[in-house]
Amino acid sequence: MKGVGLYSHDRTLLLLLSSALDNEFRFHLESTEDGIRRLVSEENCSAVLVDLRSTCDDLDQTVACADRLIESRVPVIVLADDDQKTTASQLVNRGAFDSCRCPPSVRELRMQLRAACEKSLDASQNHVSPSFSGISCVRHHMVGSSEPMRHVHHLIERVADIDASILIVGESGTGKELIARAIHNAGPRATRPFVAVACGAIPETLIEAELFGHQKGAFTGSVGAREGYFERAGDGTLFLDEIGELSLYTQIKLLRVLQQREFSRLGSNRLIPLRARLIFATHRDLDEMVAEGKFRQDLFFRINVMKVEAPPLRERAEDIPEIASHFLHVYARNFHKPKMTFAPEAMEILRDYAWSGNVRELENAVQHAIIMSNGNVVQARDIPWNIREATTATTEFEDPFPGGSFERQLRDYKIRLAMTAVRDNNGNKTLAARRLSISRAYLHRLIRLGGPQLLSDSEEAGRTEPLRQSA
């Protein structure tokens, strides 16, 4: 559990944060600068929340304290209401990690605290992981050296300094938000706010007010004015995740904002210039949605200036050991089990699994394994049961199953699927594995289990198909 310092006079806020986030963060309240600085050094706090809202009487002193914390390289997240948003923006411009509106959104604050604590961990390790095209993993918070990941980092380099709209596509759990943050951090807006919005999590009746803000009395229940995400992003980056979940009506409103580069709060005629850079993401097939009339074609053209594809984990299986080891290092420290390693059998299971949930599923599996482990080595038995069950059927090359048994029939069925996929893809095993949504290593195990005939058939398909095409 990560320690977080809270510089505030509001004990109620401490209780609220502890209640909402107590499964991941441990909060410590201090109301003086000496107290918060001592807390950071003694309690090993990974980040500090500075509450401007409860220190209005001595705001200058609070800002000065925040500046000194920033200078000492402690990740600082500023909590502020609408009255202090200018001060909060100034602190972010001077190096604060981020700012959050009070009362905070639990989901948004959780993501900010995770990112801040990860930054603190990277700084404490004081080393740089292997870089890709000159940009380090520490800066991007992405792990992996496979060809698909090198391509992603190359695209990040190309688009980081350009203000064109970016569309990030990929399956759930592939790290689309990490790519968006990497683009933000690698560009000239790195010191400005990064605001992430989960479009699918906001009710349709509230989405317009959340995006563009509203004035007092704009609708029933709006007791005060409130800035929206577009306004809060300022000169930074606005990341609209799951853009495919927006209704056609909201798509029209968004399209107009992108065309005019300005917007207004609900209930107000005052136009506000759009200064933020926009990055969009979705796990849906927007081309298909456009064809079905569920997504506006003109909006699709606006957001799809540059597309970045987040590769699924099964297409970069060679990254699995590095990613799993990264999660093992991070969560072993959090769970007070340092210096843990994987047994070869456990790593082999992780490497051969298809990971339909991608990196997020791998992260959860590693956490489970750490908790279940009785020592400093994660054994095969510590891996979640469903993952072991999906891979152990092909662990041994000899035939351990009696003829006609359920396990034997299941294994034979998998082998036949592998044979068909290899043949249909002209012997290309990478395409065959992609079609079956399994790793290339797992496909090779099935091929070897099928014996010399399957192996020779797949090789023959790769040799003869080009001759057939040329004929």
pLDDT in tens, 16-71: 888 888 778 888 888 888 888 877 776 668 889 999 886 555 787 888 888 888 87
Long-range contacts of the stretch 256-264 (C-beta < 8 A, 24+)? 257/212, 257/230, 258/165, 258/299, 258/302, 258/303, 259/302, 263/212, 263/230, 264/212
Is 117 part of a structural domain of the chain?
no
Same domain, 18 and 61: yes
Is pLDDT above 90 for 113?
no
pLDDT confidence of residue 298: 94
* Lookup: tokens for 102: 């009070």
Same domain, 351 and 295: no
Cis ω before 104 (30° cut-off from 0): no
Is 80 part of a structural domain of the chain?
yes
Could you give the CA distance from residue 293 to residue 414 in angstroms, rounded to a whole number?
Answer: 38
Same domain, 433 and 330: no
- The CATH number of residue 86's host domain is 3.40.50.2300
For residue range 435-449, list pLDDT tens digits in order: 887 777 777 777 776
**Average pLDDT value for residue range 367-394:** 84
**Average pLDDT value for residue range 451-468:** 46
Is 332 part of a structural domain of the chain?
yes
**Residue 112, phi then psi, degrees to nearest 5:** -65, -45
Same domain, 318 and 304: no
The number of helices, as runs of H, and strands, as runs of E, in the chain is 21, 14
- Nearest partner of 97 among 16, 2, 184, 3, judged by Cα: 184
Q: Is 234 left (phi over 0), alpha (psi -120 to 50) or beta?
A: left
Is 84 part of a structural domain of the chain?
yes
Same domain, 386 and 294: no
Is 36 part of a structural domain of the chain?
yes
| Confidence class for position 335, pLDDT limits 50, 70, 90 | confident
Q: Is 99 left (phi over 0), alpha (psi -120 to 50) or beta?
A: beta
Could you give the CA distance from residue 435 to residue 444 in angstroms, rounded to a whole number?
Answer: 14
pLDDT confidence of residue 131: 31
Same domain, 351 and 444: no
Is pLDDT above 50 for 395?
no
Is pLDDT above 50 for 132?
no
| Confidence class for position 396, pLDDT limits 50, 70, 90 | very low
Same domain, 33 and 95: yes
What three-state secondary structure class fits 405? coil
What domain range includes position 301?
A: 137-309
Same domain, 8 and 20: yes
Give the residue from 309, 329, 361 where a domain finishes: 309
Same domain, 174 and 233: yes
- The CATH number of residue 353's host domain is 1.10.8.60
| Confidence class for position 228, pLDDT limits 50, 70, 90 | confident
Same domain, 35 and 9: yes
**Average pLDDT value for residue range 175-193:** 89
Comparison of pLDDT for 270 and 131, the residue scoring more: 270
| Confidence class for position 300, pLDDT limits 50, 70, 90 | very high
**Average pLDDT value for residue range 169-193:** 89
Same domain, 258 and 347: no
Is pLDDT above 60 for 93?
yes
Is 125 part of a structural domain of the chain?
no
Is pLDDT above 50 for 397?
no
Give the residue from 279, 309, 339 where a domain finishes: 309
| Confidence class for position 297, pLDDT limits 50, 70, 90 | very high
Same domain, 30 and 62: yes
Structurally, the chain folds into a number of domains equal to: 4
- The CATH number of residue 263's host domain is 3.40.50.300
| Confidence class for position 220, pLDDT limits 50, 70, 90 | low
For residue range 243-257, list pLDDT tens digits in order: 999 999 999 999 999
Is 119 part of a structural domain of the chain?
no
Q: Quickly count: other Cβ atoms within 10 Å of residue 261's Cβ.
A: 10
Give the residue from 327, 360, 392 where a domain finishes: 392
Is 111 part of a structural domain of the chain?
no
